[in-house]
Copies of this chain bind each other. A is one copy, B any other.
């Protein structure tokens, strides 16, 4: 079904603010939300089902998934949102690296290729992962403002010009890693399927993490500028300009962080990413960067900040990014039975070699990856096991990148490896609080498939050429011009001549005992 079949003819929900393209304010307009819900209800039976990709092999396309239903939702609401999916993709093409793995076309979700993610401690903007929940509003810098309201003493509207005025606000730059709680979700899916959320729980690999130098103003200063909070205020809610859909209802993307976090100057309102203006896909003109928290709290295209007594009742904060016990699933889930993912735990990943690689080596294999811990904790020690988790080698301190309170560390280690055939390489990180990672994916599997922080495990096929029989076989292959890979393609030559075979078997006492 083409999107055009759904898009209504009328001028539904026109753009409301000059210079704010693709933005509809839903927050304070219950009658608009009701009308949108009515329209979505009308088309209910026409919307595509979410694609089944958990119980089936993942498509090998790039984008991996399209997001047809989400496109249809946007089309159904008329002119303002209809073109948003195409504009989102155009922005991807313009702002992101050509070799991104596009996990989901729309809303755009993409991660860099494994090898490129660990080329730089500070991720280049075009390689930084993107996890959007809707379209990319196009807001002119000059027309841009955000409102600070509810439980603040002096509600204010603040423009970007105000915010950049260093006479009013001190500027702050921080190296901060942002991580999506979906990182490595593909491992949970491979083990057991989980919640097939309406907004596709994208099948991320290890790349939904990135590090940048973010520049802006601490939210604490903005609250101070608004006369501080009323006594009962404990949380700051952020509202984005993107439109979000959940079970037939619309809203703007909204999430919250505790005031306690803000007071530490760990929540930044940022307009620069790596000394460049924020790319549109990353939230231009202004976004939140909540250090050490799940990426979902770092709201993009910020339109409002609301001081609240309790966490946001927005659907993203309340109904998503919840961490459930093993016993919870479609048969019994309630939003209140999961806890809210805020601080990210310690985690790590092997980025080279990659799963199923065939490695010819001389008794040592080089392994590289990243390690991260949220909440202001830092990776203190990284260990790699070449034997499935029995023995662990420590990454030498010389081979792990600089410590930050809020950023990852990249590491490399040469691991002694005698064994051949399929080996399980595993990595784990210990942070400065002595937290380490759960052992197996099973240990931390959860219904919403969030936070795959278990020890990262890959399998490689080890070929140790210091072994005489291996050296002999490699020589045979070279002489015959035959490749070792794929290992599943049978060798065409006889592996052992009759006499050698018989000598060897007889030397072993024959196939059966003599007596």
Binding site for B on A (CB under 8 A): 49-50, 52, 54-55, 57, 191-198, 234, 247-248, 258, 260, 310-311, 313, 318-319, 326-337, 339-340, 356, 388, 419-422, 442, 445, 447, 459, 461, 463, 467, 469-470, 472-474, 484, 486-496, 498, 500-502, 504-505, 508, 510-512
Task: Report the Cα distance A155→B63, complex, angstroms.
Answer: 70
Residues of chain B within 8 A of A447, CB atoms compared: 421
Check if A50 sits within 8 Å of B489, measured CB to CB. yes
Q: What are 27 A-to-B residue pairs whose CB atoms are below 8 Å? A: A52-B488, A55-B488, A193-B356, A193-B488, A194-B488, A195-B488, A196-B488, A197-B490, A247-B492, A247-B493, A258-B512, A310-B511, A319-B495, A327-B421, A328-B420, A329-B422, A330-B473, A331-B420, A331-B474, A332-B472, A334-B469, A335-B495, A335-B501, A336-B500, A336-B504, A336-B508, A340-B511
The 5 closest A-B pairs by CB, nearest first: A196-B488, A336-B504, A57-B57, A192-B422, A332-B469
Q: Given A488-B55, A512-B260, do A419 and B327 touch, yes or no (CB 8 Å)?
A: yes
Residues of chain B within 8 A of A311, CB atoms compared: 511-512
Check if B196 sits within 8 Å of A332, measured CB to CB. no
Task: Report the Cα distance A269→B270, complex, angstroms.
Answer: 83
A446 CB, nearest partner CB in chain B, Å: 9
Give the nearest-CB partner of A423 in chain B.
B326
Check if A496 sits within 8 Å of B334, measured CB to CB. yes
Give the nearest-CB partner of A507 in chain B.
B336
Number of copies: 2
Q: Which of B334, B422, B474, B492 contacts A504 (CB 8 A)?
A: B334
Check if B511 sits within 8 Å of A329, measured CB to CB. no
Give the nearest-CB partner of A492 in chain B.
B247
Q: Given A421-B326, A421-B327, A510-B310, do A489 and B332 touch, yes or no (CB 8 Å)?
A: no
A449 CB, nearest partner CB in chain B, Å: 10
A367 CB, nearest partner CB in chain B, Å: 19
Residues of chain B within 8 A of A508, CB atoms compared: 336
Give the nearest-CB partner of A57 in chain B.
B57
Residues of chain B within 8 A of A234, CB atoms compared: 512
A80 CB, nearest partner CB in chain B, Å: 25
Residues of chain B within 8 A of A340, CB atoms compared: 511
A467 CB, nearest partner CB in chain B, Å: 7
Residues of chain B within 8 A of A191, CB atoms compared: 422
Q: Given A496-B336, A501-B336, A512-B258, do A421 and B490 touch, yes or no (CB 8 Å)?
A: no
Residues of chain B within 8 A of A510, CB atoms compared: 310
Q: Which of B49, B335, B500 contacts A496 (CB 8 A)?
A: B335
A454 CB, nearest partner CB in chain B, Å: 15
Task: Report the Cα distance A194→B191, complex, angstroms.
Answer: 21
Check if A55 sits within 8 Å of B329, measured CB to CB. no
Residues of chain B within 8 A of A502, CB atoms compared: 310
Check if B491 sits within 8 Å of A329, measured CB to CB. no
Q: Given A192-B422, A247-B493, do A331 and B484 touch, yes or no (CB 8 Å)?
A: yes
Q: Given A336-B501, A445-B422, A495-B334, do A55 and B486 touch, yes or no (CB 8 Å)?
A: yes
Residues of chain B within 8 A of A248, CB atoms compared: 492
A293 CB, nearest partner CB in chain B, Å: 13
Task: Report the Cα distance A40→B310, complex, angstroms.
Answer: 78
Task: Report the Cα distance A420→B493, complex, angstroms.
Answer: 52
Q: Given A495-B334, A496-B334, do A52 and B486 touch, yes or no (CB 8 Å)?
A: yes
**Max chain B C-beta neighbours (<10 A), residue from A195, A336, A474:** A336
Check if B331 sits within 8 Å of A470, measured CB to CB. yes
Residues of chain B within 8 A of A422, CB atoms compared: 191-192, 326, 329, 445
A67 CB, nearest partner CB in chain B, Å: 14
16 further interface pairs, Cβ-Cβ under 8 Å (given A327-B420, A334-B504) = A50-B489, A50-B490, A52-B486, A54-B488, A191-B422, A193-B356, A194-B488, A196-B486, A197-B490, A310-B511, A328-B421, A329-B461, A330-B487, A331-B473, A332-B467, A334-B500
